Structure 1
Amino acid sequence: MRITAMESFAPRPGQALSWLPTATSSAAAGQAPVYTGPLTFLVENHVRGCAAARTAGTPHHAYLGSGTEVDGDLDEQRMTRALDIFVRRHSALRTWFETDDRHVAAHLVDADDVSFAVHAVEEIDTDEQFQQHIAGRFSAEAISTSYPGFAFGALRRPGSFTLFFGCDHALSDGASQAFALTEIIDVYTELGGSRQGADTGPATDGAGTRDAGGYLDYAGAEAALAAHHLSGSDELDRLTKVFADNDRSLPTFPLDLGLAPGETAPVVPIEVTILTGEDIGRFESACRSAGSRLLTGIYAALAATDAELAGRTDYYGMTVFNTRSAAPRFASAQGWFAAFAPVTFPISGAATFTELLAAADTGYQAAKPLAGVPVQAAFGALIAAGATPASLASTPNLLSYIDFRRFPAAGNTGYEQGVIFTGEGRTANASLWINRDHRRLYLGSQTPGTPYAQHQVQRYFAHLCSVIQEVARSGDYTLTSPVAADVA
C-alpha cells in the first residue's frame, strides 16, 4: 500500500461498473432518523466547510480514495453482496449530514436498509478517461451531505479487475482507506468459499455480529473527553502554553511560500523517495544507536532543515495521531479517527543530528498526552487565552507518519498493490505525509502550485532528504549555519 497522487493510479483498460443504492434503499436513507448523539468537531467543521464551498460553486475535492487490483473474473453479484455487508458493518458509511451552515445534523441509516445494485457505465480505454471517470464520480458522489457519502466501482476485464473506493473525509481517513478495499475483498473471497456465497443476513457483518456504533461511539467518547479537559487539566494547560510560546499561531511551512494571508493556490502533488532498501535500516540503526527511533529521527532531520534553511532556533510543528487505539472496537472501523498535537523542542545548541535526537524525542513524547485533548477543547482554551478565531481558522502545516508494514493486511496481494490518494483542490500549506513500506521511505505533499511556492518546497524537501541520506551513509549529520535562500 502506498500514498500517491491520484493521477498515479492508472489501471489497465476495462468496462467501468458503479454500485449505487437501490431505489428502496435510497428512499429509506432519506427517511433515516436524526442521530441524537454528539458528533466530532472535525466532522462538523468539515461538513460546514464543504457546504460553504458548494454554495460558492467550488468543486468538491474534500475526499480520500483508494484503488487496487484483483486477479480473477469479477463476480458482480458476489461483489454486490460484499459491499452490502461492508457498509452494514460500519456506521460511518451509513451516515449522512445536513447543515444550515451553523448546526450539523446526522442521519443514521439502519443496517437493514442497506442495499446496492451494480450498473455498467462505460468502456475505459485510456488513463485520461479513467482519471475523468473517478474524479467525476468522487466529486459528485463522495459527499457526506447525501447518502452514501462514498463512490465504489470497478474496471472489469477478462482475468482481473480493478476496484476503487472514494469517500468524503467526514467519513474516512487514511487508515480507513487502507482497510476498506482489503476488507471488501476479504468478504468477497469468503462469499465465494466453502459456503458458496451463503448470505450472512441483512444486518450482520459476516461473523454474525451487529454494528457496535463504531465512529459514532467514538464521537460520544470524544465529547466526554472534551468536557473533562475543559473543566481543567494539566494537558490543556500545557497545550495552551505551547501555543502562547509560539505567538498564538498554528505551525506554518518553515519557508515563505509567497502567498498572502488567506490566499491559496491549486494543488500540485509531490512525491519524493527518501531512502530505499538497506539505507532505511541504516538510518533506523543510527537513530536506535543514539537511544531513539526512526520517527524521532525524522523530527530531528526536520529540525536540522528548519535551522539551516529558515534560521529557526526551535522546532514547532503539528503532528497527526491516529486515535483508533482509544478502544479495540475502533481498531479497523471506518471513520475519521484523528487528533493533533504540537511538537516543539529547541534546536539551538545542537551541532549534529545525533545531538538533536534527544530533544526531538523529548518533544515528541511530550506531544503524546496533548493529543488526548480533543480539538474543540483545545480551540476553546486557545481562544480564551487570547487567540483570535482567524488565527485558528486555517489548517496548520501538518506532519503525518504511517508505517504501512504494520497494517493487518500487509503481505496480501490486494493490499500490497493498493494506492491511497486524496482530492486535489487548493492549499496554502505543504503538509508532509512521510510513509514507510517494505521497499522505501518516502514523502508526499500537496503543495501550492505557484512558481515561487514550488521553488521553496522543492528546495526544502531536497534538503530534508539530504540530511536523512547523510545519516544513513555516515551515521550522523553536522549542522551548518543557516543557508541563504536561493530564490529563482
Structure 2
Amino acid sequence: MDFLQILDAPIEPGGLVEWIPAVPGGLGSWRRDSRETSHNHEQHLRSAFEYRARTHREGGRESWLGVSIEFAEPLSIPSIRAAMIAYVNRHEVLRTHVVLKADHDGRYRTERYSTERETVHLKMSRIGWYTETPLLLEQVAGSFDRATAPLHWPAYRFATVARPHSFTLLFAADHSLVDGYSLVTAQYELTELYRASRDRRPPALEPAGSYLDFSDAQRRAADLEGPEHPAAQTWARFIAPYGGTFPPNPLLDDPPPAGTSPDDHEPPVIDHRPGGGAVEAAPPQPFQPSRTCLLLDDAGARRFEDFCERSGASTIGGLLGALSVAFRATTDADEFVVVMPRHTRTDAAWAHSLGWFVGLAPMAIDIHDTPDLVEAARRSTAAVTESKYGGALPFLRVADLIGVGGSPHMVVSYMDTRGTPRADVADAGGARVLRSHSYADDEVYVWVNRTPGGLRMHARYPAVGVDRVPRFLDLFARLLASTPAER
C-alpha cells in the first residue's frame, strides 16, 4: 500500500464531489464531555494555537493524513452517503471536538464536546468535472488543507471522484484524529460499509473501541507519573549529551539553530486587518519534496528478513542498521540519532479504532567505527529494545516532566500491514495512504512499510540547501538490495 504526498497520487480525473460533515444547530447542540484529551492531541492543538496567535492565519500548517480507495464500478450516491455516515457513527473521534484555552499565565486547558450517533449528516457539494489529474489534485489538496484545521470541527472531509465505470473515495483528517494505521484499516472499513449498503446487508466489521475512552484512560494514568518513570528516564539519558534538546541532523547542510521549530522559519505575512498595518511578505517557502519507491519485492523482503535472523537482528533492527550505515557513509557522524514512533494499541479493544495511538522512542546508535551491516543491525536491534520504554508515556508528558526542548530532526517509522484485510488489493493499487505537504526545513522523515508486495519506502525532507538526503536514501536502498541470500 503506497504512502504518497497528495499531489503525487495517481487518481484518474472525473466528477469531483466534496462531502462536508455538519450537525443541525452546530456545536451549540453538543454535550460537554468529561473525558480527558490525550497528550498527543493537546500538544498538536498547542502548536496550532500558538501558530495562529503569531501569524493570524490557519494555513501553512497542514498536518492531515488520508486515504484514497478505488472502486471498479459506477458510483451509487445513496450507498456512498450511507457508508460515510456509518463510518462517522462507528468512530466517535469524528463526533467530538476539543477546545483549547490559554490562561493569562500561559497555562493551557482543554474542554471536550461530543455529539451522539446519527446526529452528523453530510452536505453534498458538486465541485465540477476535471479532465486532468494535476488540476484535480490541486483542488482536492487545497480543500483538504482548509478543511482539516485542528482548531475547528469538522477537522476532516470526504470527497468522491466519479467516472462512468469507476470512482475514487477520498478521506482526510487532521493528525489529531488519525494515525497511519488508522488509514490502513480505513480502506477496508469504508469499502465494506459501501458494499454492505449497496447489497443491503449488515457490514462484516469487528467492533471498534472509542479513541476518547483510550485518551481519557491514558491521560489520567500518565498524569500520575513522575520523572522516575522509565519513559522519562529513557528520554533524560537520550537528551543529556545534547544539552536537553534534540541534536541537529548532520544530513542537513545548514541545520537551524538548536531549539528552533519549523514555525520559526515561516515567511512573514501581510496583516490585512483594520489598523493592523502591512508587513512585507517574503516569497512563499517551498514545501518538502518526497520520495516513494518499492525498496524490495516480496521475495527480496523475505531474503532481507532471513538475513536479519541469521545476523541475530530483528527486521526493524536490520532496517535501522542499513539506515545507520548509510548515515555514516553520507555524514561521517559518530552516532545515528533517531526517533521512532511506537504504536500504543496495547489492548485488543483498540485494534480497529480510529485515533492517534502513537508514542515516541528515542535512540542513538553508535557508528563511530563504521560498522558493517551485520554489526549495525545487531546494535540497532539492541537500541530498539533499550528505547522501547521511551514510548510508554506521551511525549508532551515527558517534556513536562524533564524539560525536553525542540522537536525531532530525524524520524524513522516502520509498519507491517500484511495482516490488514484487503492488504493485497490495496498493495496492487486498490488503495493508498495520503498525506499533506509539509514546509519544515529542519527534519527528515522516513517511513518503511512491509506489505504483501514487499518493502515500500516513503520519505520527505527539506526543499532547499540539502544535497545529502537523496544520497543517503540511495545508499540505504542499495544496501537492502545487496543483502546476500543464504548459502
Q: Which TM-score band applies after superposition, normalised by the shorter structure?
A: 0.7 to 0.9
Match of 2:479 among 459, 467, 472: 467
- 1:423 corresponds to which residue? 436
Pick one of 34, 46, 49 that aligns with 2:47.
49
CA distances 1:68-125 after superposition (whole Å, capped 9, x unpaired): 2102121111211111111011111112233345433222121131222433221121
Cα deviation 1:16-49 (Å, max 9, x = unaligned):
1222235xx2425442123222111221121232
Q: Is 1:96–1:144's contact at 8 Å kept on the other side of the alignment?
A: no
> Aligned residue for 1:7?
7
* 1:252/1:429 contact within 8 Å kept: no
Instruction: Give matches, 1:321-400, under 5 Å.
Output: 321-324=342-345, 326-349=346-369, 351-383=371-403, 387=404, 391-392=405-406, 394-400=407-413
Query: What runs of 5+ residues in structure 2 fail to find an aligned partner?
Result: 103-107, 266-284
Deviations 1:145-186 (A, max 9, x none): 333211101011222111101111111111111222321220
Please, which of 469, 474, 485 is the counterpart of residue 457 of structure 1?
469
**Correspondence for 2:313:** 292
Work out the percentage of aligned pairs sharing the same amino acid: 19
Q: Deviations over 1:367-404 (max 9, x none)?
A: 22222122133112322xxx5xxx33x34421101222
**Structure 2 CA distance for aligned equivalents of residues 414 and 276 of structure 1:** 11
Is 1:303 paired with 2:324? Answer: yes
Closer, same or farther: CA 474–171 of 1 in aligned 2, 3 Å: same
Aligned AA (1:16): L
Tell me, yes or no, if the aligned pair for 2:75 and 2:166 is still in contact at 8 Å.
yes
Structure 1 counterpart of 2:280: none
- Equivalent residue, structure 1, for 2:446: 432
Aligned partner of 1:319 in structure 2 is 340
Within-5 A mapping of 1:205-216? 212=209, 214-216=210-212
C-alpha separation between the residues in 2 aligned to 1:30 and 1:184? 29
Counterpart residue number, 1:486: none
Secondary structure of the residue that 2:159 maps to in structure 1? strand
- In 2, distance between residues paired with 1:63 and 1:293? 31
Of 95, 102, 125, which residue of structure 2 is paired with 1:119?
125
Alpha-carbon contact 2:88-2:95 (below 8 Å) kept: yes
Q: How does 1:8-23 map to 2 (within 5 A)?
A: 8-21=8-21
After TM superposition, give the deviation of residue 474 of structure 1 in Å. Answer: 6.5
Q: Which residue of 1 aligns with 2:304?
A: 283
The question of 1:183 aligning with 2:189 is answered yes
3-state SS, counterpart of residue 353 of structure 2: coil
Give the match for residue 267 of structure 1. 288
Match of 2:420 among 363, 383, 407: 407
**Bigger proportion of residues as helix:** 1
Report what 2:216 is aligned to: 220
Amino acid at match of 1:27: G
**Match of 1:11, SS?**
coil
Cα pair distance change 1:286/1:337, threshold 3 Å: same
Residue 207 (structure 1) shift: 7.4
Matched pairs, number: 453
Which of residues 110, 114, 123 is equivalent to 1:108?
Answer: 114
Whether the 8 Å CA contact 1:165–1:181 is kept in 2: the answer is no
CA distance in 1 between partners of 2:168 and 2:14 (Å): 9
> What SS is found at the alignment partner of 1:113?
coil
Partners of 2:358 and 2:247 in 1: how far apart?
17
CA distance in 1, matches of 2:426, 2:452: 13
Could you state the TM-score of these two structures normalised by the residue count of structure 1?
0.85
Q: Given that residues 250 and 331 in structure 2 are in contact (C-alpha distance below 8 angstroms), is that contact kept between their aligned partners in structure 1? A: yes
Aligned with residue 176 of structure 2, among 159, 167, 170: 170
Note if contact 2:2-2:432 (Cα within 8 Å) is conserved in structure 1. yes
Q: Aligned-pair distance for 1:364?
A: 0.6
The residue type paired with residue 310 of structure 1 is T
> Does structure 1 retain, via aligned residues, the 8 Å contact 2:60–2:439?
no
Question: In the alignment, residue 342 of structure 1 is paired with which amino acid?
Answer: P
2:324 is paired with a residue whose SS is helix
Q: Which runs of no fewer than 5 residues in structure 1 stay unpaired?
A: 477-488
What SS is found at the alignment partner of 1:103?
Answer: strand
**1:378–1:66 distance in 2 versus 1, CA, 3 Å:** same
Q: Give the TM-score normalised by structure 2.
A: 0.85
